[in-house]
């Protein structure tokens, strides 16, 4: 039974991490579009740097 509890806890943790990662990706896409539309090289560079955290 303990193994099941541990599995469920790990699954909840993984789910939360995946939601967080998804939020990070959405934000990166928004920032990318803003950087492109404004031709903002500094913003684009921040997106690139933040992409390393996502990967």
The tokens describing 44, both together, are 């684009």
pTM of the model: 0.80
Share of the chain above pLDDT 70, in %: 100
Share of the chain above pLDDT 90, in %: 89
pLDDT exceeds cutoff 90 at 23: yes
pLDDT of residue 1: 78
pLDDT of residue 6: 94
Q: Which of 10, 46, 37 is nearest to 18 (CA)?
A: 10
pLDDT exceeds cutoff 90 at 31: yes
The tokens describing 36, both together, are 């492109």
- Split at pLDDT 50, 70, 90, the class of 11 is very high
């Amino acid at each position: 039974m303990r193994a099941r509890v541990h599995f469920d806890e790990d699954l909840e943790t993984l789910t939360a991490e995946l939601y967080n990662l998804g939020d990070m990706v959405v934000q990166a896409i928004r920032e990318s579009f803003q950087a492109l539309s404004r031709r903002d090289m500094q913003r684009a560079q921040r997106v690139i740097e933040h992409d390393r955290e996502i990967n």
